[in-house]
Structure 1
């Protein structure tokens, strides 16, 4: 089998760091974020000058970003949301974005604590999870491309802009398959259950992947099968469970 060239691999890794933000106000706010690196601004040829479009172009000029013009159909292919892109999208370089395969290929020897998201569908929950993970001791957030909310303006707002600095690990395969790879690489894949004997507070391990399940149904059956460990968060006053974003914060700061 022919090996991919170093130039191709470098280009692929670069594009894995890109985050595309769409919509006029979200794009302007992203461009105004300090420390955010801009790659390209995409505008529909049909946009009328003036107002927020002029503000967006002025911010892009400050950042010396390349500006490309497209017809509406081409722009919708870039934004992947023709109904809400409002003729504007921007590619941002997020240095901590990667893929699960690239993360594993790096063969990190230090201890790592990761979060894996299993069917988190509420954008506000995803944003708050990202915010807690970014602020706490989390080295990566495994975000499958299917079955979970994706990074959109609602998620960016809920994350208070921390998404641009967060260690997002994208995966284009089912989460169970991704977790199996991490297990084979020596990670402890850990679910949360009120029936577990061990508490989160006393749980230890050098390389951990903590699984956060769907807001209503919890961890899916296939993902449960990949969990080699289970821990619980002790509850008082007959409370059965916590919001998934609160759980993420407890893991990030445990």
Structure 2
């Protein structure tokens, strides 16, 4: 953990924050918030002994969160989401490897899908990648607080480690890969997802055991990375249910 103070905003992210072990310094809430929500947060703050301040003017919250995405509530914390070591994944079953994803909302949406489909962890590079920030947390609906996230200096080396631990690596490409819906998946599976503009770097793609694609029929040949992630993980969940009977 580091001591960088930050704000968490939005109803769902703050609800999830209250369920996490992260210490909340203060909650600022709009007096005109829907009564049931206002009462809920007042009760939770009281139970957890968190200072809660109400604001009569929305502009007070707008100054802290200028893009107006706060939905009438902002929480202040000192600690950031903890990044874990790669070695914590030896016994994992499902991992996402994000190759230089830079859009915070896409990253948050990927985390949300990963949580929904019980992904064990996400791996991101230390450089040229978005990290956990308030926008990511809001886009994840707060699930970023509960997802294992690993930062590594070199994705290629991380993939080699995963292979040593029995993982098969599947690289998601826009076209030219095996049809994901017809491709058997291993018990220990890691999916590589590329950046919004460039896709998976060639040196990373070379480390993948398989290239997979989602068949499409429209006028464009690729999906938004967060949408593609949801489809891939849904397909994985269906295949595993069939195996389990």
Alignment-derived partner of residue 103 in structure 1:
89
1:22 is aligned to 2:2 = no
Alignment-derived partner of residue 163 in structure 1:
144
Q: Tell me, what secondary structure is at the counterpart of 1:231?
A: strand
Deviation at 1:191, TM superposition (A): 0.6
Alignment-derived partner of residue 89 in structure 1:
77
Deviations 1:91-136 (A, max 9, x none): 3777xx63322222xx35xxx2211100100000001001111111
Deviation at 1:34, TM superposition (A): 6.5
1:1-80 matched pairs, under 5 angstroms = 22-23=6-7, 26=9, 32-33=15-16, 36-41=19-24, 62-64=47-49
Q: Tell me, what secondary structure is at the counterpart of 2:156?
A: helix
Change (3 A) 1:29 1:89: farther
Q: TM-score, normalised by structure 2?
A: 0.68
Aligned length: 202
Q: TM-score, normalised by structure 1?
A: 0.66
Deviation at 1:40, TM superposition (A): 3.8
Question: 8 Å contact 2:13–2:141 — kept in the other structure?
Answer: no
Deviation at 1:149, TM superposition (A): 0.6
Q: Tell me, what secondary structure is at the counterpart of 1:253?
A: helix
Deviations 1:183-241 (A, max 9, x none): 12221111123112x21112221111110001000001221121121111111134210
Question: 8 Å contact 2:100–2:124 — kept in the other structure?
Answer: no
Q: Distance in 2 between matches of 1:30 and 1:243?
A: 23
Change (3 A) 1:21 1:133: farther
Deviation at 1:173, TM superposition (A): 1.7
Q: Distance in 1 between matches of 2:3 and 2:111?
A: 15
Q: Which consecutive aligned stretches of 4+ in structure 1 deviate over 6 angstroms post-superposition?
A: 18-21, 58-61
Change (3 A) 1:90 1:60: farther
Deviation at 1:140, TM superposition (A): 1.8
Deviation at 1:51, TM superposition (A): 6.4
Alignment-derived partner of residue 38 in structure 2:
none
Alignment-derived partner of residue 220 in structure 2:
239
Question: 8 Å contact 2:84–2:149 — kept in the other structure?
Answer: yes
Alignment-derived partner of residue 131 in structure 2:
150
Change (3 A) 1:118 1:132: same
Point out where structure 1 has 5 or more consecutive residues left out of the alignment.
Answer: 1-14, 44-49, 66-87
Question: 8 Å contact 1:137–1:253 — kept in the other structure?
Answer: no
Alignment-derived partner of residue 215 in structure 1:
196
1:141 is aligned to 2:122 = yes
Q: Tell me, what secondary structure is at the counterpart of 1:226?
A: coil
Deviation at 1:174, TM superposition (A): 1.4
